Structure 1
Amino acid sequence: MFTNNDINFEALKRKAYNGRWATLEEGIIPLTAADPDFRTAPEIEQGIIEYIKDGYLSYGPFSGLPEFKKSVAEHFNKEKHGDFSPENVLAVNSAAQGMYLIASYVLNPGDEAIILDPVDFLFKKSVETVGGKVVLCPVDTTTGAIDFEKLTSSITSKTKLISICNPHNPLGKVYSKETLKKISEIASAHDLWVMSDEIWSDIIYDNKDFYTYSSVSEEARKKSFTVYGFSKSFGIAGLRIGAVLCNDQEILEDFTEKSNFNSTIEGVSTLSQIAGSVALERAKPWYKEFLNHLQNNRDLAFNLLSTSEILQPSLPEATFVLFPKIKNGMSSDQFAQHVLQHGKVAVVPGSERWFGKGAEGHIRICFSTSKEILEEGINRIIASF
């Protein structure tokens, strides 16, 4: 199901945007945007077809279809130590939109939000878009460890939010229950909100346990939002479907109202919600095979890079990206340009634009493709020097 023969390259060249097959010249291998090269689960395709068979595509409930909210809550409770009811779930147009809406809700112009450095650019973008000020908290690029001393000393009277990425993109770190508890103690002592982006929480290797942030303490439960999405684990990025979860029902209702979901200004495609609920209820066998394939690819990519003189990788505990350190002194942008030109491989540079200041000197390699494409891509990178 996840071999090179299962990839429809013609379809990818027509449909896979965001720095991937549809945007690059013929002959270039994209190991860029975190999007799978494989078609989505047949159960999801079938679920969408079944839903539209009667010809009705009516308005859905403002906060999301009951089956969507129920499947997301149950998924978190079974797989991530969560304690959510369906009412604790709001359907949103992607995890990225969820992050922006939370920033809008929590921050006034001039308020400060602490984010990890490096981390995906959407954290910074969502804070700055609503007029907030970003304060960076360093993360060790090898271990993913958070500098708690710096985190605590960064808090001022203007701080309103701590945003975490768990599992961490691009470092692939899964934060332990103890680490999350520590964050909740710091946040509680200063009466801060916490946003936990958990879009990668289905792509975890070696059967490592995952705790959703709000499950780790009473403090975490009281004042936090969790963001979830389907694009990584189920390959449906184009459907723009995600969820915001919050254990405090009154807060979530207020959030829903202030985010304009209690009107038709905002709202989520019912087809996308059907795809999401079918993914969680019927496509788990597909997903487990996909995860197994990804773990094999992770090990392959790590081993190939470890023996090279060019890049020094760390083994990710989660996600389908590697974030190796550049060993030859090139900047991230120079390296990415070099391998594009001389190796015909596209990678994401660890530049400030994409991941913050702490990412410089690294590149990000996505490995959610076939073994053959991955091997060819990494060998081309190594051979281009």
Structure 2
Amino acid sequence: MFTNNDINFDALKRKAYNGRWATIEEGVIPLTAADPDFRTAPEIEQGIIEYIKDGYLSYGPFSGLPEFKKNVAGHFNAEKHGSFTPENVLAVNSAAQGMFLIASYVLKPGDEAIILDPVDFLFKRSVEAAGGTVRLCPVDHITGAIDFEKLVELINPKTKLISICNPHNPLGKVYSKEVLKKISEIASAHDLWVMSDEIWSDIVYDDQEFHTYSSVSEQAKKKSFTVYGFSKSFGIAGLRIGAVLCNDQEILEDFTEKSNFNSTIEGVSTLSQIAGSVALERAKPWYKEFLNHLQQNRDLAFNILSRSEILSPNLPEATFVLFPKIKNNLTSDEFTRHVLQHGKVAVVPGSERWFGKGAEGHIRICFSTSREILEEGLDRIIKNF
């Protein structure tokens, strides 16, 4: 199901944008945006077809379809130690939109938010879009460990929000219940909001346990938002479907109102919600095979790069990206340009633009493709130095 023969390259070259097959020149292998090369689960395709068979695409409830909210809550409760009701779920147009809405809800111009460094660029962008100021908390590039001493030092009267990425993009770290509890204690002591981006929480390896942030303590439940999406685990990025979860119903209702989700100004495509709902209800067997394939690709990529003299890889506990350190003296941008020009492989540079100041000296490699494509891409990178 996840071999090279299962990839429709013609379709990818027509449809896979965001630095991938549809945007690169012929002959280049894109190991860039975190988006699978495989078609989505047949159950999802069938679910969309079934929904539109009667020819009606009417308005849905502003906060989300009942089946979508029920399935998201059930998924978190069964797989991530959550304690959500369907009413604790708001359907949003992608996890990314959820992050921006939360920042706008929590922050006023001049307020400060603490984010991890390095981390995906959307954390910084969402804070700045709300008029907030970003403060960076260092994360160990190998272990993913948070510098808690620095985190506490960064807190001042202007601080309103701590944003975490769990599992962490691009380091692939899964934060334990104990670590999350420590964050909740710090946040509670200073009356801070916490946003936990958990879009990668389905892609966790070696049967490692995952705890959604709000599950780790009563403090964590009281003043937090969780962000979730379907683009990584189910390959439906183009449908732009995600969810914001919050255990405090009054807070979520206020958030829904202030985010304009109580009218037709906002709201999410019902077709996208059906795809997400069906994914959780019927496509788990497909997803488990996909996860098994990804773990094999992770191990393969780690072993290949470990033997190379140009990159020193990390072994991610989650996600389908590697974040190896560059061994020669090239900057992240120089390395990326070199492998594109000489090896015909596209990767993401560990530059400030994409991951923050702490990312320099690394590149990010996406491995959600076939074994054959991955091996060829890594071979080209290694041979062209």
Is TM (by shorter chain) over 0.5?
yes
Q: Distance in 2 between matches of 1:318 and 1:354?
A: 19
Matched, 1:154 2:154: yes
Match in the other structure for 2:238: 238
How many equivalent pairs are there? 385
SS for the counterpart of 1:225 is: strand
The aligned amino acid for 2:360 is E
Q: Distance in 1 between matches of 2:153 and 2:24?
A: 44
Matched, 1:328 2:334: no
Match in the other structure for 1:346: 346
Alignment TM-score, normalising by the size of structure 2: 1.00
SS for the counterpart of 2:195 is: strand
Q: CA deviation at 1:352?
A: 0.1
Matched, 1:222 2:222: yes
SS for the counterpart of 1:202 is: coil
Alignment TM-score, normalising by the size of structure 1: 1.00
The aligned amino acid for 2:11 is A
Give the alignment of 1:217-366 within 5 angstroms.
Answer: 217-366=217-366
Q: Distance in 2 between matches of 1:248 and 1:129?
A: 25
Match in the other structure for 2:42: 42
Tell me the percent identity.
88
What's the CA shift string for 1:130-160, capped at 9, x where partnerless?
1000000000011000000000000010000
Match in the other structure for 2:176: 176
What's the CA shift string for 1:262-299, capped at 9, x where partnerless?
01110100000000000000000000000000000000
Q: Distance in 2 between matches of 1:218 and 1:50?
A: 41
Q: Distance in 1 between matches of 2:107 and 2:188?
A: 17
Match in the other structure for 2:133: 133
Match in the other structure for 1:124: 124
- Runs of at least 5 residues in structure 2 that lack an aligned partner in the other structure: none
Match in the other structure for 1:210: 210
Match in the other structure for 2:81: 81
Give the alignment of 1:92-131 within 5 angstroms.
Answer: 92-131=92-131
Q: Distance in 2 between matches of 1:40 and 1:110?
A: 42
Give the alignment of 1:35-74 within 5 angstroms.
Answer: 35-74=35-74
The aligned amino acid for 1:372 is E
- Runs of at least 5 residues in structure 1 that lack an aligned partner in the other structure: none
SS for the counterpart of 1:291 is: helix
Q: Distance in 1 between matches of 2:269 and 2:282?
A: 20
The aligned amino acid for 1:160 is K
What's the CA shift string for 1:243-279, capped at 9, x where partnerless?
0000000000000000000011101000000000000
SS for the counterpart of 2:251 is: helix
What's the CA shift string for 1:146-192, capped at 9, x where partnerless?
00000000001000000000000000000000000000000000000
SS for the counterpart of 2:156 is: coil
SS for the counterpart of 2:90 is: strand
Q: Distance in 1 between matches of 2:221 and 2:127?
A: 22
Q: Distance in 2 between matches of 1:245 and 1:288?
A: 24
Match in the other structure for 1:164: 164
The aligned amino acid for 1:157 is P
Q: CA deviation at 1:323?
A: 0.1
**Structure 1 stretches of 4+ moved >4 Å:** none
Q: Distance in 2 between matches of 1:166 and 1:298?
A: 18
Q: Distance in 1 between matches of 2:113 and 2:153?
A: 13
What's the CA shift string for 1:72-116, capped at 9, x where partnerless?
000000000000000000000000000000000000000000000
Q: Distance in 1 between matches of 2:267 and 2:225?
A: 19
Q: Distance in 2 between matches of 1:229 and 1:258?
A: 21
The aligned amino acid for 1:45 is E
Q: Distance in 2 between matches of 1:197 and 1:99?
A: 8
Q: Distance in 2 between matches of 1:79 and 1:130?
A: 32
Q: Distance in 2 between matches of 1:303 and 1:204?
A: 19
Match in the other structure for 1:376: 376
The aligned amino acid for 1:167 is P
The aligned amino acid for 2:260 is N
Q: CA deviation at 1:329?
A: 1.2
